[in-house]
Structure 1
Amino acid sequence: MKTFFLPRIRDVLFFAIFAGVLALGPQMLNMDGDLPRHLLMGKIVLETKTVPTTDIFSYVYEGRPLIPHEWLAGVIFFLFYSKLGLDGIVLLSALLLSITFTLVYDYALLRCGARFPSLILVVWGAATSSLHWLVRPHLFTMLFLAIFLILADRLIRDEFKQVWLFPVLMVIWANLHAEFVAGLLVLAAYCAGWIFDIFLKRTNINFVLGKRLGVATILSILATLVNPAGFHTWETVFGYVNNRYLMLRIMETRPPDFSQPQFLILLALLIFCIVLVLLRIRKLGTGTLIALAGFSAMSIFSARNVHLYGVVAPVLLACALTGSAEIPALKTLEKIFAVVERSVRGFLWPGVTVFLLSGLLLGGQLGMVNEFSAKTFPVRALNWLEMNPQHGRMFNAFDWGGYILFNMWPTQLAFIDSQTDVHGDITREYERAISLEEGWQDVFTKYDIRWVIIPKKWHLVGALAFQGWRDVYHDELAVILVRP
């Protein structure tokens, strides 16, 4: 007898991730200052029906070329925000993450053939990626990476022939987030694996398959050019990655510190990956091994890539677990899961989850308030500025730039924000000023800065006060100083 009211394992996974993200919503909104800037970009695009290609956010870079490689994510974020407020942004994030890992589980189960090992692998990957569960465009990247991986893996197995789908997806991805490069790396890994198989004189080389891989890769590369900045979008990608100054100064671009507890789950997954590959290497294709090695290395070199590894590892390691259902310790458990799953057809549970939890969140029944926290952003200071506007150029804290722009643009442009400086020029001057390095006063003279809004605890506050700058507002977090 089929039971239509019981959830399947995939439904439980979907519910757990969706509910987990809702619970983390207030934290995810306030971990950095990127979201307000994305919201502003989305608002501008929707109101003007154009995508800015010159900088209109920082007076330092005003008029210079701008690479809006995340404009589409900003539009989607703002659409949800305009209808549902920040609750809508959290709901979108929950939906993206739960769909991503449900797709990963479905494919891992298809390749592994055992529910429990697949579930453990996917939950492990999700937990690893949770280090970067922030409300940013990279949530779209995680979903598109999962789709690209699945389609590419099916393509290499000759189970999928619709090559045109890769460039179509890439056009969307390249306008959502700069990490679209991850999709190209997946295709490149499989192409390299196919070529290696030829040199290794493997039998049964499928040249039609190689042609499909090559076409998918070339068309996907060309598809990345379909964006407001054209080929200039690659300047941002390579310029940022090759900029050692910025890479060393941004915390998330540094290598993960495995002495910190939050990175131990990544370390464990990396070790498990190495051990599993050594034990079951014959079950993994050459392209799969190259992709695993590449994304493993990326997660070691930069903490910013951890969320990618959390998606890649479960998909690619699943086939190495083929036959695990026959392990004595798992056999009985797997039989129980199989019997239950065969009798369950509760396919509506993901929809019920979204509908029910969304209703509870929007109705204020979950006891959570999704807002920009006054402990993170200068909320009270900007409320004061609304009634007491300051004139002239301002100097602001890096992490506050996006929030200030979202609330004050176009009346006030920022000195710096988390999206503006991809070259490092302004970051150097910013660091010189806040660190009170030799010549720090020159920064304020050079840009004719008339007032500042910075954290109250900074030493710069005392230095400016000593120079005669007036304290016109302060609270527990922020201070506003005006030049004499």
Structure 2
Amino acid sequence: MECHATPVSTPALAWRWPPFALLAALLGFLFPLVHRPLLLDGDTYWHLAAGRWMLAHQAIPHTDVFSATMPGAPWVAHEWLSEVLMAAAFSAAGWGGLMLLCGAALAATLGLTSHYLQRHLAQPAPLVCTTLVAACIVPSLFARPHLLALVPLCAWCVALLTARDAGRAPSWRWLALMALWANLHGSFVLGLALAGVLALEALAATPAPRGPALRQWSLFLLGAAAVAMCTPFGWRSLWHPFQLMQPALTATVAEWQPPNFNHLQPLTLALLTLLYTALTRPLRMPPARVFMLLALLYMALKHSRHQMIAGLVGALVLAAPLGLALGRPGAPHADGARAQGASAWRAWGAVLLAMALLAAGLRLAMPPQRGDDQATPMTALAQVPPALLSQPVFNSYEFGGYLIYRQLRPYIDGRADMYGSDFVLAYLAAFQPDRAAFEQATDRYGVRWALIAADSHPMLYLLDTLPHWRRLYGDRVAVVYVRQP
């Protein structure tokens, strides 16, 4: 069944949506400023280091410049623009500046989402949907490029869906957004896929002759694919995101594992809400959008990190069908009501902007203090003699980013795609631990010391029992070992 939104004039809705959208944006801005796990991902460190290197050298690396095991190996730094933005924010205002950048990204995402939802839904449906979207994002709310990429993802989906609701192809000006997105994060390939599915929906809904619609959408898709290659890596930008999906490269990363439904997941709440609505309301959708939702659900069930994409894109795709099933907000007719609404919008905007500026000032005045945590073996690294720091190290996967940030060369870090599946599998064998594989790895790269996570008990036991290794230091985060001559 074809689904179109009823056209509504912007002035008629102007007094309705701004307060809610602005409030959603404000909450999205504030939450990262107090969300402690935001900075607890080890990859944040190497993203900052990569951005710092690019700013210092005024260049984009095409080979590895950080590791001890892969120096000079080909490296597709496909998130280079996000890393530069992160490093610039950090350089300007430290950890507080990075948190403000993340807050701005989440604010834009939730603001755009709630604005679009309220164009189709009456309250409290936009509130419920926006809350579920935010809940799906929180488990992956880390200071990394994927958070910045949520903004173009949301804006791209809104642009495509708005064009479909109006029965036309998207404007070519949105291709600039695709070019920006392709340099921020590899998720831009999802944007191309969504455009392709909606193009098929448009062709199926267009009565004969379909030539004009086919030409418009085909040109837009070709243009989007072309500008997606406007990166320092050209056509490889299109292929590289698929290389990241190799099982060997994702086996050690928790966010690439299926969600654990033994604990309450945001995806569970979203699915139950959708199921309740579908069973109690005449919810009908075009087959293309049903396919999109099923594909998003499959992605979220396969990899927990895709819960945020399923929640965000799913809410936007469902907005128009839900609007038809649940009813839409009516438009006011009195000029006095419109004037009163415009006045309320200005008052809301001033108050919420003041709150955001106050929160930003407080965050900059009281920056977070970094110490030992699951990604930061600060104290353990301070116990390593300076002469030993320059020697090859064998490290836990999650500590590689911090070593790069401290300008030390790790054995491995979060750039698993650069290391390749063979190297990653050999590393996993050494860390199982397999004594022969470990000794082979350390002999090959001349490893002189090791930095191991304190909860890696089998690896710690192996090193405690090997005759040529001595424990130098240990705490609740990391343990340092030294290899004897």
TM-score grouping bracket, smaller chain normalisation: 0.7 to 0.9
Q: Residue 475 of structure 1 corresponds to which residue in structure 2?
A: 475
Q: Residue 234 of structure 2 corresponds to which residue in structure 1?
A: 230
Tell me by how many angstroms 1:373 deviates.
3.7
Tell me by how many angstroms 1:235 deviates.
3.8
Contact 1:19 1:94 survives alignment (8 Å): yes
- AA aligned to 1:452 is A
Aligned counterparts of 1:257 and 1:338: Cα–Cα separation in 2: 48
Matched, 1:363 2:362: no
Aligned counterparts of 1:269 and 1:477: Cα–Cα separation in 2: 35
**2:451 match: secondary structure:** strand
2:448 aligned to 447, 450, 471, which one? 450
Relative distance call for 1:162 and 1:149 in structure 2 (3 A) is closer
CA deviation map 1:114-159 (0-9, x unaligned): 1321121111111122121111111122111110111101222337
Tell me by how many angstroms 1:460 deviates.
2.8
Relative distance call for 1:207 and 1:146 in structure 2 (3 A) is farther
Q: Residue 257 of structure 1 corresponds to which residue in structure 2?
A: 260
1:431 aligned to 408, 428, 432, which one? 428
- AA aligned to 2:97 is G
- AA aligned to 2:350 is L
Contact 1:56 1:62 survives alignment (8 Å): yes
Query: What are the residue-to-residue correspondences of 1:303-382 with 2, within 5 Å?
Result: 303-322=304-323, 344-345=344-345, 346=347, 347-364=349-366, 369-371=368-370, 373-374=372-373, 376-382=375-381
**1:168 match: secondary structure:** helix
Q: Residue 334 of structure 1 corresponds to which residue in structure 2?
A: none
Contact 1:190 1:290 survives alignment (8 Å): no
Relative distance call for 1:256 and 1:127 in structure 2 (3 A) is same
CA deviation map 1:157-201 (0-9, x unaligned): 33776632232111111111111112112101102223444xxxx
Aligned counterparts of 1:269 and 1:204: Cα–Cα separation in 2: 38
Aligned counterparts of 1:280 and 1:296: Cα–Cα separation in 2: 21
Query: What are the residue-to-residue correspondences of 1:389-428 with 2, within 5 Å?
Result: 389-408=388-407, 412-422=408-418, 423-428=420-425
CA deviation map 1:383-423 (0-9, x unaligned): 34475543421111100101111112xxx321100124453
Aligned counterparts of 1:180 and 1:395: Cα–Cα separation in 2: 34
- AA aligned to 2:85 is I
Q: Residue 146 of structure 2 corresponds to which residue in structure 1?
A: 138
**1:57 match: secondary structure:** coil
Q: Residue 164 of structure 1 corresponds to which residue in structure 2?
A: 172
Matched, 1:27 2:37: yes
Relative distance call for 1:142 and 1:395 in structure 2 (3 A) is same
Aligned counterparts of 1:171 and 1:448: Cα–Cα separation in 2: 43
Tell me by how many angstroms 1:338 deviates.
10
Matched, 1:51 2:60: yes
Aligned counterparts of 2:177 and 2:459: Cα–Cα separation in 1: 47
Q: Residue 298 of structure 1 corresponds to which residue in structure 2?
A: 299
Aligned counterparts of 1:85 and 1:386: Cα–Cα separation in 2: 27
Contact 1:273 1:313 survives alignment (8 Å): no
**1:435 match: secondary structure:** coil
Aligned length: 455
Contact 1:29 1:371 survives alignment (8 Å): no
2:102 aligned to 75, 93, 108, which one? 93
Aligned counterparts of 2:356 and 2:214: Cα–Cα separation in 1: 41
- AA aligned to 1:257 is N
Relative distance call for 1:160 and 1:106 in structure 2 (3 A) is farther
Q: Residue 247 of structure 1 corresponds to which residue in structure 2?
A: 250
**2:72 match: secondary structure:** coil
CA deviation map 1:303-348 (0-9, x unaligned): 1211111211221222123267769xx99xxxxx999956612233
Contact 2:400 2:411 survives alignment (8 Å): yes
- AA aligned to 1:12 is L
CA deviation map 1:208-228 (0-9, x unaligned): 344332222211112221222
**1:348 match: secondary structure:** helix
CA deviation map 1:61-119 (0-9, x unaligned): 2212101001111100000000110111111111111111111111111122x132112
Relative distance call for 1:373 and 1:209 in structure 2 (3 A) is farther
Tell me by how many angstroms 1:350 deviates.
4.4
| Deviation larger for 269-278 or 460-469 | 269-278
Relative distance call for 1:11 and 1:166 in structure 2 (3 A) is closer
Identity of aligned residues (%): 23
**1:482 match: secondary structure:** strand
Runs of 5+ consecutive residues of structure 1 not aligned to the other structure: 332-336
Relative distance call for 1:190 and 1:403 in structure 2 (3 A) is same
Aligned counterparts of 2:468 and 2:422: Cα–Cα separation in 1: 28
CA deviation map 1:223-255 (0-9, x unaligned): 2212222222334322222x2233344321222
Tell me by how many angstroms 1:375 deviates.
5.2
**1:28 match: secondary structure:** helix
Aligned counterparts of 1:131 and 1:477: Cα–Cα separation in 2: 22
1:188 aligned to 190, 196, 209, which one? 196
- AA aligned to 1:132 is S
CA deviation map 1:405-452 (0-9, x unaligned): 1112xxx32110012445322222222222222513111112221111
Relative distance call for 1:289 and 1:54 in structure 2 (3 A) is same
**1:449 match: secondary structure:** coil
Relative distance call for 1:210 and 1:321 in structure 2 (3 A) is same
Matched, 1:16 2:27: yes
- AA aligned to 1:173 is W
1:216 aligned to 212, 220, 223, which one? 220
Contact 1:397 1:455 survives alignment (8 Å): yes
- AA aligned to 1:362 is L
Contact 2:282 2:325 survives alignment (8 Å): no
Tell me by how many angstroms 1:11 deviates.
2.5
Aligned counterparts of 1:154 and 1:290: Cα–Cα separation in 2: 19
Tell me by how many angstroms 1:54 deviates.
0.7
**1:377 match: secondary structure:** coil
Contact 1:277 1:320 survives alignment (8 Å): no
Relative distance call for 1:249 and 1:224 in structure 2 (3 A) is same
Aligned counterparts of 1:107 and 1:205: Cα–Cα separation in 2: 31
